[in-house]
Amino acid sequence: MAKLKIIVSAASFFCTRIEWALKLKGLEYELTFEDWDKGKSELLLKSNPVHKKIPVLLDDGVAIAESKVILEYIDEKWKGGDFYPLLPQDPYERAQARFWAQFADDKCAYSTWRGWHAEDALEKEKAMEAALESFAYLEKQIEGKKFFAGDKIGHLDLVAGWIPRWLGVMEETGGMKIFDAERFPSLREWGENFMDIPLIKDCVPPRDVLVDHFFRGLSHLRSLEPNKP
């Protein structure tokens, strides 16, 4: 089998979720790093000409873009037998997992990014309020469960998987406070359970590396388009 490749950039949680999925499936892959300082590579522009964003999965000559689409592709292509399932079998449960994954990106991640990105205090405040409101919905979803998918991690856990490590880093480097353990006790517990899984933890960049990256890359990252839903 040809080796899978992922076009990634350092410190992107959209990319780490793909690595988690491939590892859960027991698939080998290579990483091809984009260097934003040098502009977008020919490979990225050719593989994702519409959005020109990472991650892109290259599977034996075909390119698949958009991280949640990639997760679904991986789950559909390598399914059954010993392959770890990411989405539930039941159609309603599948729809729910997809709905909340979309919500987690469009609302939680986007408002956090907006807050981090904002230089204007009022704009930051508004983004933080939107983030708080959105995280409250996720808190309700995880209440009484170990993982979003139940006893084991699944699609939504991978999509929300940036929260335990990246959110704190974005708060620190973006001068904002969103996540409060008292307000979100179930989400916090979920984050600890999630990060306790060796396969998950092993793919996550160390906190200080992320902080450094976000601080150093601040001016450049600010020039990028926020990940609008």
Ligand X SMILES: N[C@@H](CCC(=O)N[C@@H](CS)C(=O)NCC(=O)O)C(=O)O
Residues near ligand X (CB under 6 A) are 9, 12, 14, 52-55, 66-68, 224-225, 227
Radius of gyration of the CA atoms of the chain, in A: 17
Given the complex with ligand X, which of 167 and 184 has the nearer CB atom?
167
Given the complex with ligand X, which of 10 and 195 has the nearer CB atom?
10
CB atoms within 10 A of CB 136: 13
In whole angstroms, the minimum distance from the beta carbon of 92 to ligand X comes to 24
In whole angstroms, the minimum distance from the beta carbon of 12 to ligand X comes to 4
What dihedral angle (degrees, nearest 10) is formed by the CA atoms of 186, 192, 197, 203? 110
In whole angstroms, the minimum distance from the beta carbon of 181 to ligand X comes to 26
Given the complex with ligand X, which of 181 and 224 has the nearer CB atom?
224
Given the complex with ligand X, which of 184 and 221 has the nearer CB atom?
221
Given the complex with ligand X, which of 10 and 197 has the nearer CB atom?
10
Nearest residue (beta carbon) to ligand X = 53
In whole angstroms, the minimum distance from the beta carbon of 18 to ligand X comes to 9
Distance CA 169, CA 192 (A): 16
In whole angstroms, the minimum distance from the beta carbon of 112 to ligand X comes to 12
